[in-house]
Amino acid sequence: MYKQAGVMGGQALLARWAAIGVAVLLCAPWLVPSSKVYHQLLAVLLWLPALCSLGYAAFRSHLASPDLWLYVAFAAWTLLILIVRGSEEPVSDAKVVAYVTLSLLGFLLAARAGDASVERLLIFGVLLGGVGAGLSWLHFYVLEQNPFSSRLTALGIWDTVIMAAHAVGALAVVGLAMVVGRPWRLAWLLPAGVAAIGYLAFLLSSQTRGVWLALLASLMVILVSVPRWIGLTVLFGLLLAVAAVAIYDVQMLMQRGLSYRLELWGGGLQLIAENTWFGIGFHEFKLTVPGLTNQFKHPHNLFIDTGVRLGVGGLLIFCVLWLLCLWRAWQARDSALGRALLALWLFATVSLMTDGIGLWRKPNADWLITWLPIALGLLLARRNADYASSDRPRS
């Protein structure tokens, strides 16, 4: 009896420990001085409790789901490609697979910290993210006095324009999907309003049209699920924002054209055709555009990049995993987390098709549009299994 109580207490402690780690994953990039510190915090607060939890049979049995087995197949294929095709830094690249795996396990572990624990962590991350986005805008344009034509980057370690816009956009759509149509407490209006203004200012000033298109796609799904007056209000606000940008500088909407995306995608597809089944592995490659002296390190499309590196086999496994994530979101579309994942999946898919740079990288801003959707899909799959087992009649 005492032993069983100790086991349960140990699992509860690990779950709360991992919940702190999830909060760090979502919130620390605004605050930490370097990526190295960020990764060290994740190692202690997220990956370590996830690793320790594997010592408990109850948690291991909790992991059984087709979704997780599909991810394991994808990770195994990635390691196979790493062995067969090689890499400039094979040990470092193999570690990234371990980091991702432990992060996904950490999310599943954090969900055991209490009812709706992940939802509360997401809301906390969204509110802090809105404040961080607003402070980034003030720091960049007011304190540093950069011209408004300059593209905004974030405070902290999200200091790349496109990747910062990905992360901020992901937090914005998750927050909006989780709160629309729900009753509001008066105490939440001020922080929610501050966060909304911060997100709007940041995403407009990032001048990242792929993100704007992704936001439009995800917002269409969100607006369908709310009362008509709310949807019309949000839509009217978006039209005002676009009009304001057009009045201020219409070239902001038109500049840079397609940024050679079609040529880069064609070059990536050619590499897939030349290395069909096993790809080129983790070696660096260059793509050229006729008429340009510059060379590009990736095709600006995560799905094509995955095919280039892991071959058609790896691309197919990933696409099935990605579509299964969409299916989990659709099944749970009546819940706040289901709507959030559905909106995030659409935002991520459009963003990754226009600006995705790669899957297997150390924790960075793009994790919020690559591994966060998969983590939430795994969580919803686990909840579905729990509901099914609780409804099953006992013999």
Q: Please give the torsion angle defined by the CA atoms of residues 137, 138, 139 and 143, in that order, rounded to the nearest 10 degrees.
A: 140
| C-alpha to C-alpha distance for 86 and 66, rounded to whole angstroms | 29
What beta strand segments (E) does 308-374 contain? none
Token pair for residue 136?
């980034």
- Distance between CA 98 and CA 146 in Å, rounded? 40
β-pair type (295-296, 287-288): antiparallel
| Angstrom distance (rounded) from CA 380 to CA 382 | 5
Contact 185, 234 (CB under 8 A): no
At 32-48, the pLDDT tens digits run: 999 999 999 999 999 99
Rounded CA-CA distance 170/215 in Å is 9
Q: Which residues of 188-199 are buried (b: 16+ CB within 10 A; e: fewer)?
A: eeeebeebbebb
| Number of Cβ atoms within 10 Å of the Cβ of 80 | 14
For residue range 251-280, list pLDDT tens digits in order: 544 454 456 777 788 888 888 889 888 989
CA distance 157 to 143: 18
Residues 65 and 49: their CA atoms lie apart, in Å, by 21
pLDDT for res 2: 41
**What is the C-alpha to C-alpha distance for residues 129 and 148, in angstroms, rounded to an integer?**
21
Candidates 110, 122, 11, 107; CA nearest to 58 is 11
What is the spatial distance between Cα 390 and Cα 395, in angstroms, rounded to a whole number?
Answer: 13
**pLDDT for position 83:** 92
Whether the CB-CB separation of 205 and 137 falls below 8 Å is answered with yes
- Please enumerate in sequence order all residues whose Cβ is within 8 A of that of 81, keeping only pairs 6 or more positions apart, or say none: 278, 279, 281, 282, 309, 310, 311, 314
Neighbours of 359 (CB within 10 A): 24
Residues in the chain where the model's pLDDT stays below 50: 1-3, 5-6, 250, 252-254, 256-257, 393-395
- pTM to 2 decimals? 0.89
Could you count the other beta carbons within 10 Å of the beta carbon of residue 307?
Answer: 26
Q: Give the DSSP letter string of 148-201.
A: TTSPP--STT--SHHHHHHHHHHHHHHHHHHHTTS---HHHHHHHHHHHHHHHH
As given in the structure block, the two tokens for residue 35 are 């990526």
